[in-house]
């Protein structure tokens, strides 16, 4: 005469596959109760099953152990996402926060273009702009490199930029001295 509540020792040994088939509904209800996204639910269940497989011979009550382990893993899933919010964000949102960097050859081409543009400036302006824009130094780092104060670097950079604008801008159209206005271009 067997009672309804037999210990695991008296039951025939159930395989992991049989156990999962038998408690499948309870496993999915745990995943739903924790609001686990479907793309992560399979991974979390797989983690619980792997752990059960590793410890299968040492587990006394396999059903409750597996259900408890899955609850624990689901709880840790949300804790980890709260601690590291970047993992919880989707890829387009992350790319919006930090756009991809240009390839090194594009940066090299920009540096060569900058070097060509800087040729018309005096050496101290060239060094300041090169360190600031080609090398990516902060104004404080440029000041340390050149031995200037931060305010001096700011002024030096602004002056160099205005000189570059004057050099690279097209000459102003001639002004009609009689009227003091810029003549209209001929469209014919």
Kindly list the distances between the CA atom of residue 178 and the CA atoms of 17, 94, 133, 172, 183, in Å, as whole numbers in the listed order. Answer: 97, 59, 44, 17, 11
For residue 39, give the nearest of 99, 87, 98 by alpha carbon: 87
**pLDDT of 99 above 60:** yes
Rounded to 5 degrees, what angle do the CA atoms 91, 92, 94 make? 65
Cβ-based neighbour number of residue 28 at 10 Å: 13
CB 59 within 8 A of CB 16: no
Reported in sequence order, the residue ranges of the chain that DSSP labels E, i.e. its strands, are none
**pLDDT of 11 above 80:** no
Contacts of 67 (CB under 8 A, 6+ apart): 23, 26, 27, 30
Average pLDDT value for residue range 4-29: 75
Percent of the chain surpassing pLDDT 90: 11
**pLDDT of 181 above 60:** no
CB 36 within 8 A of CB 71: no
Average pLDDT, the chain: 78
Kindly list the distances between the CA atom of residue 47 and the CA atoms of 10, 22, 24, 53, 55, in Å, as whole numbers in the listed order. Answer: 28, 19, 15, 10, 13
pLDDT at residue 72, rounded to an integer: 93
Q: Is the full-model pTM beyond 0.75?
A: no
pLDDT band at 26 (very low <50, low <70, confident <90, very high): very high
Q: In this structure, is the dihedral angle defined by the CA atoms of residues 115, 117, 118 and 122, taken in order, positive or negative?
A: positive
Instruction: For 114-136, write each residue's pLDDT tens digit.
Output: 788 888 888 888 888 888 888 88
pLDDT at residue 163, rounded to an integer: 85
H helix and E strand count, the chain? 10, 0
Q: Supply the DSSP symbol for 130.
A: I
CB 160 within 8 A of CB 146: no
pLDDT greater at residue 90 or residue 7: 90
């Amino acid at each position: 005469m067997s009672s309804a509540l037999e210990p695991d020792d008296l039951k025939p040994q159930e395989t992991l596959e049989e156990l999962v088939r038998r408690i499948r509904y309870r496993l999915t209800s745990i995943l739903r109760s924790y609001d686990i996204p479907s793309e992560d639910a399979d991974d979390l269940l797989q983690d619980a099953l792997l752990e059960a497989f590793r410890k299968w011979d040492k587990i006394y009550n396999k059903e409750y152990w597996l259900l408890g382990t899955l609850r624990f893993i689901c709880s840790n899933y949300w804790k980890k996402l709260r601690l590291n919010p970047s993992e919880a964000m989707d890829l387009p949102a992350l790319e919006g926060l930090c756009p991809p960097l240009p390839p090194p050859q594009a940066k090299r081409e920009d540096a060569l273009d900058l070097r060509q543009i800087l040729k018309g400036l005096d050496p101290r302006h060239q060094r300041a702009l090169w360190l600031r824009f080609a090398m990516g130094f902060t104004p404080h780092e440029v000041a340390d490199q050149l031995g200037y104060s931060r305010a001096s670097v700011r002024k030096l950079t602004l002056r160099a930029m205005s000189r570059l604008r004057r050099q690279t801008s097209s000459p102003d159209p001639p002004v009609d001295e009689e009227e003091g206005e810029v003549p209209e271009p001929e469209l014919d």
